[in-house]
Every structure is written in C-alpha cells, then in structure tokens.
Amino acid sequence: MMQDNIFLKIIERKIPAQIVYEDDRCLAFHDINPQAPVHVLIIPKKVIPTHADITEADKELLGHLHWVAAQLARQLGLEQGYRLVLNCRELAGQSVPHLHLHLLGGRRMHWPPG
C-alpha cells in the first residue's frame, strides 16, 4: 500500500533529489516546491504513513529527526530562526503518505500560517 510513495523512490534512488543529509535512519532533501528560501524535507527511512501511526518503538527515531533538523538549520545558516512543520493526514495538508518534517527558513515566518 505505502510501498510506492515518492519518498520511498527517493530513498531507493529511483528518482533524483537534492539530498543534503543521510544516515542509516533518515534522509533530508530540498523540497521541489519550496515555500521559503530554505525548505528541506526530513524523512525516516522506515515507512510511517502519518504522525498518528507512530508507536512507542518510534520515539527515538522521531527524536533523531528533530536532532537532524537542528543540525541542518545550523548548516544551512538558519541561526536567526526557522520553522518545523509536521502535517498529519490530508485534511492538515499532508500530501505524501510518509511522515516528514518540513524545515523552513530564510525569511520571516508569519502566524497563522494559513
């Protein structure tokens, strides 16, 4: 069911992406439709369809994704500030059925986001 999402194709190198970070648990790459000057997606290599699907076994992995986001924010020059977004399901704006963090920065962010 979820084995054919676009993020898995990126992980498996079946389609190209501008990868900025990779380790044994996750991958980070520039969004193809950026909503800010810096817009990176951080995804687990393990398929977790939505935030609602995380289990107790995923706690360390989710912490790792946030740690990677902080490292990338420093590496990408976002010391002045950045936003992390995690959408859960289609109604909230999740368009790919694979949990992912958006790291956005490089401009002033406003609230509410829309």
Catalytic residue among 30, 64, 66, 100: 100
98 is catalytic: no
Q: How far apart are CA 90 and CA 88, in angstroms?
A: 7
Q: How far apart are CA 97 and CA 100, in angstroms?
A: 9
**H-helix or E-strand containing 68?**
helix 59-75
Q: How many residues does the chain have?
A: 114
Write the single-letter amino acid at 63: G
Cβ(98)–Cβ(87) below 8 Å: no
Cβ burial, residue 62 (10 Å; 0-12/13-18/19+): middle
Catalytically active residues are 100
